[in-house]
Chain A
Amino acid sequence: MAGAGGGNDIQWCFSQVKGAIDDDVAEADIISTVEFNHSGELLATGDKGGRVVIFQQEQENKIQSHSRGEYNVYSTFQSHEPEFDYLKSLEIEEKINKIRWLPQKNAAQFLLSTNDKTIKLWKISERDKRPEGYNLKEEDGRYRDPTTVTTLRVPVFRPMDLMVEASPRRIFANAHTYHINSISINSDYETYLSADDLRINLWHLEITDRSFNIVDIKPANMEELTEVITAAEFHPNSCNTFVYSSSKGTIRLCDMRASALCDRHSKLFEEPEDPSNRSFFSEIISSISDVKFSHSGRYMMTRDYLSVKIWDLNMENRPVETYQVHEYLRSKLCSLYENDCIFDKFECCWNGSDSVVMTGSYNNFFRMFDRNTKRDITLEASRENNKPRTVLKPRKVCASGKRKKDEISVDSLDFNKKILHTAWHPKENIIAVATTNNLYIFQDKVN
């Protein structure tokens, strides 16, 4: 029962961890995005080195049904390479910012991956047979001398070791002046959007030499710039609706039927700022780092630096739910500004039934909030608990005052260990949590 019960009713167990063990993290191995496909059978990660690694879940063993299938490496490929823009003298990072899967239509799988400037459509296909017995070619591919051919035979397919091939089918380039932060596939499965700091473009998956600009917030005079686009997503059901969030903490919902250029929003979601919380860093912590629609399409969730907010699409003036992720950091904003942690962009995700939401924090902690029971839980992704089916122990951060046993004080949190990317299986209680360079997979306890 996916999502039944909440963060507290479920007992989360360690399942697997992927990645290097040593503490010396190579920069290229830093995970930058995590995404399950629509069935949950495949799990893709992108890293700073431009690589994509896809894991596939084993088919469940009917006899040993005490755990769900494990995820094993299915395919690895280099998606993006570093580039240099000679005109602007800018290096373009190969880091994969986002991966989005297309729904499966045939035997092959398709996904979109993007770095700062270029989006690519990849086809991942399996090959487990190969033709043998050509008349004109040897087995190694060399051509035979036709005069040596004395008989004819029909080539046949013979089984071979499974080979998974990834090939780039489309490359969508040169449409973004600023850094791409989001891609989102439309529910029509024909178009998708890509968003950078100031613009959102609409693409057709078949057409690479053209895109439509649907949002442009670049001011005529760049000196008047006050906000940038931080994330964008299509509505899961309405193919004409999308939202984009801004650095000012607002979300705009746009309807593409209204006009070609959706600069005027249909709805503006904004919560008035609490004046008692005003500080030097108010603008930074109100910047939204992620926006995700619920599977139902009725709600959307936003993540800013300290909280997660759930919005009802029918109510614009305030969120219906607000969850504090790590409020104890509010008094530390100054040091977090100095060490740049205040600019960390945390993502958030829904479970399959939209009853629980999850997001990451520091010290390799991640948090889950049950919307029904209003309970929350903090768990840690750590190699210390890495025996399979070990139940994770809830963690607690002590904000001030006397620290109880098993609590961790704010000052001993490791701010270099941050969980920015998490993903929840679309149907089951399986979660993928990315620490800096490791991918943890947790499952709920199955009796």
Chain B
Amino acid sequence: MECALDAQSLISISLRKIHSSRTQRGGIKLHKNLLVSYVLRNARQLYLSERYAELYRRQQQQQQQQQQQQQQQQPPHHQHQHLAYAAPGMPASAADFGPLQLGGGGDSPAPASSPGFYRGAYPAPSDFGVHCSSQTTVLDLDTHVVTTVENGYLHQDCCASAHCPCCGQGAPGPGLASAAGCKRKYYPGQEEDEDDEEDAGDLGAEPPGGVPFAPCKRARFEDFCPDSSPDASNISNLISIFGSGFSGLVSRQPDSSEQPPPLNGQLCAKQALASLGAWTRAIVAF
């Protein structure tokens, strides 16, 4: 079965469901939220595997570019090899993630344009500090025990932003370009002037003016085995994140101007995805 929605839309829809369930009459339904969290987990796995594949592909491209630069100083008879190298296709190890539909594609646009975009899409550096280590308190309705949960985040996500103070690397310059370039690739919808309607979900879209990229085989969701998720065991509380998180997500915008930014699914999804490493299936508000 092919889903009409992509991973990111599913994630934002699911988050909306969880959020609205908090205000439902009769209290949060544990069963329904558990099922929604399964969909979230499945969508997240797809999203992550696509992202890792994209990262890998980016790496390959950079290596290829470097080699091309070196090659330009060498006899041209090597070129055909690089043409073969440049052919779109699935890198061997990315195939481990299963068939994917890679987003965007093509060469990265000029990095100069990305920081502005980048800052708009993500909270200011100060907020990454908050992202990287935050606490949520949880009340168990049975025992009335209050526990404090440390939310860890995917370190890689933080570092990739290159703004993360806790990662200890400024990583400006090419690193930033590549990171920003990476980010652009994941959200091709953002490339068209942050058009909210596109919902950043159309990973098959070609970037404007970019090199046409033959999309790989469309992701088949039935190929995923959620049981093999490595960090299923250390993901923390979902509702507790979004319990504070939703109001937190809205209020966390830097220089928040006259009006708070709209709580659209796209923004929530991105910020939620930035904290992917810290998810759990349990709804500890119970």
- A residues engaging B (CB < 8 A)? 88, 90-93, 95, 116, 177-179, 181, 197-198, 218-219, 221-228, 230, 247, 275-284, 287, 330-331, 333-335, 337-338, 340, 343
Alpha-carbon gap, A284 to B1, bound state (A): 15
Cβ B1 vs Cβ A179 within 8 A: no
Nearest CB in chain A: distance from B5 CB, A: 5
Assess the B281–A280 pair: CB atoms within 8 A: no
- For B282, the chain A residues whose CB sits under 8 A away are 219, 221-225
Q: Is the CB of A228 within 8 A of B26?
A: no
Write the B1-19 contact mask toward A (1 if CB under 8 angstroms, else 0): 1011100001001000100
What residues on B are CB-neighbors of A280 within 8 Å? 3, 10, 39, 42-43, 221
Query: Please, which residues of chain B bring their CB within 8 A of the CB of A330?
Result: 1
In the complex, are the beta carbons of B224 and A278 less than 8 A apart? yes
**Contact status B35-A283, CB under 8 Å:** yes
Contacts of A331 in B (CB 8 A): 1
CB contacts under 8 Å to A, within B1-59, are 1, 3-5, 10, 13, 17, 25-27, 29-32, 34-35, 38-39, 42-43
Bits for B234-254, please: 1 = Cβ < 8 Å to A, else 0: 011100000000000000000
In the complex, which of the residues A179, A340, A343 contacts B30, with contact meaning CB atoms closer than 8 Å?
A: A179
- Given contacts A280-B42, A284-B35, whether A228 and B141 have CB atoms under 8 Å apart is no
User: How far, in whole Å, are A164 and B3 apart by their CA atoms in the complex?
Assistant: 54
Q: Are A247 and B35 closer than 8 Å at their CB atoms?
A: yes
| B38: contacting residue among A179, A278, A284, CB under 8 A | A284
Shortest A46–chain B CB gap in Å is 15
Encode B138-153 as 1/0 by CB contact (under 8 A) with A: 0011100000000000
Contact call A223/B284, Cβ cutoff below 8 A: yes
Is the pair A177, B26 in contact by a Cβ cutoff of 8 Å? no
From B1, B221, B284, contact of A222 by CB (8 A): B284
With contacts A222-B284, A223-B236, A331-B1 known, what are 20 further pairs, Cβ within 8 A?
Answer: A92-B27, A177-B142, A222-B282, A222-B286, A223-B281, A223-B284, A225-B34, A226-B34, A226-B281, A228-B34, A247-B31, A275-B222, A276-B222, A279-B221, A280-B3, A280-B42, A283-B38, A284-B39, A334-B3, A338-B13
Task: Decide if A88 touches B237 in the complex (CB within 8 Å).
Answer: no
Q: How far is the CA of A203 from the CA of B124 in the complex (A)?
A: 57
B1 touches A333 (CB 8 A): yes
Interface hub of A226, A279, A335 (most chain B Cβ within 10 A)? A279
Q: How far is the CA of A90 from the CA of B29 in the complex (A)?
A: 12
Contact B25 A281, beta carbon cutoff 8 Å? no
| Chain A residues whose C-beta falls within 8 Å of the C-beta of B38 in the assembled complex | 283-284
Interface contact A179-B26, CB-CB below 8 Å: yes
Determine if B193 is an interface residue (Cβ-Cβ < 8 Å). no
Given A223-B282, A228-B34, A343-B32, also A218-B142 (CB < 8 A): yes
From the candidates B27, B42, B235, name the one contacting A91 in the complex (CB within 8 A).
B27
Q: Give the docked Cα–Cα distance between A222 and B280 (Å).
A: 10
B197 interface hit (Cβ, 8 Å):
no
Q: What CA separation (Å) do A4 and B141 show in the bound complex?
A: 50
Tell me which of B29, B141, B223 contacts A88 (CB under 8 A). Answer: B141
CA distance A95 to B29 in the complex (A): 14
Which residue from A93, A221, A226 sits with its C-beta under 8 Å from B26?
A: A93
B11 → chain A closest CB, angstroms: 11
On chain A, the residues within 8 Å of B281 by CB distance are 223, 225-226
- Give the CA-CA distance A278 to B1 in the complex, in Å: 8
Query: Can you spell out 6 A-B residue pairs with CB atoms less than 8 angstroms apart?
Result: A177-B142, A222-B283, A223-B235, A278-B221, A278-B224, A343-B32
CA distance in complex: A88, B285 (Å): 10
From residue A335, how far is it (CB to closest CB) to chain B in Å? 7
Rounded to whole Å, the gap between the CB of B142 and the closest CB of chain A is 5
B residues near A230, Cβ cutoff 8 Å: 31
B25 and A93 within 8 A (CB): yes
A275 to chain B minimum Cβ distance, whole angstroms, is 7
Nearest chain B CB to A50's CB is how many angstroms away? 12
The residue among A181, A247, A337 with the most chain B CB atoms within 10 A of its own CB is A337
CA distance A279 to B223 in the complex (A): 8
Interface pair B29/A179, CB less than 8 Å apart: yes
Known A222-B284, A228-B31: A278·B223 in contact at CB below 8 Å:
yes
Name the distance in Å between B137's Cβ and chain A's nearest Cβ. Answer: 14
For the complex of A and B, the 7 pairs showing the least CB-CB separation, nearest first, are A278-B222, A93-B26, A283-B38, A90-B27, A223-B282, A225-B282, A222-B282
Establish whether residues B26 and A287, one from each chain, have CB atoms under 8 Å apart when the complex forms.
Answer: no
Q: How far is the CA of A442 from the CA of B34 in the complex (A)?
A: 37
Q: Which residues of A contact B4 (CB under 8 A)?
A: 334-335
B26 touches A116 (CB 8 A): yes
Q: Is there contact, CB below 8 Å, between A91 and B25?
A: yes
- B35 to A, closest residue via Cβ: A284
Min CB–CB distance A245 → chain B (angstroms): 12
- Bound-state CA distance A330–B30 (Å) is 25
Interchain CB contact under 8 A, B237 and A223: yes
CA gap between A88 and B143 in the complex, in Å:
12
Cα A116 to Cα B31 with chains together (Å): 13
B142: A residues at CB distance < 8 A: 177, 218
| Distance of A338 Cα from B34 Cα, bound (Å) | 16
Docked CA distance A279–B1 (Å)? 7
- Distance of A224 Cα from B280 Cα, bound (Å): 8
Most buried by A among B34, B224, B281: B34
User: Shortest distance in angstroms between B277's beta carbon and chain A's nearest beta carbon?
Assistant: 14
Check B222 against A178 for contact (C-beta < 8 Å). Answer: no
Q: What's the least CB distance linking A324 to chain B, in Å? A: 15
Collect the chain B residues with CB atoms within 8 Å of residue A181's CB: 31
CA distance A228 to B281 in the complex (A): 12
Residue of A93, A278, A333 most packed against chain B (CB within 10 A): A278
B31 touching A197, Cβ below 8 Å: yes
A332 to chain B, nearest CB (A): 9
A232 to chain B, nearest CB (A): 14
Residues of A within 8 A of B35 (CB): 247, 283-284, 287, 343
Given A218-B142, A222-B140, residue A91 in contact with residue B26 (CB < 8 A): yes
Interface centre among B1, B32, B223 (most CB of A within 10 A): B1
Of residues 164 to 214 in B, which have CB atoms within 8 Å of A's CB atoms? none
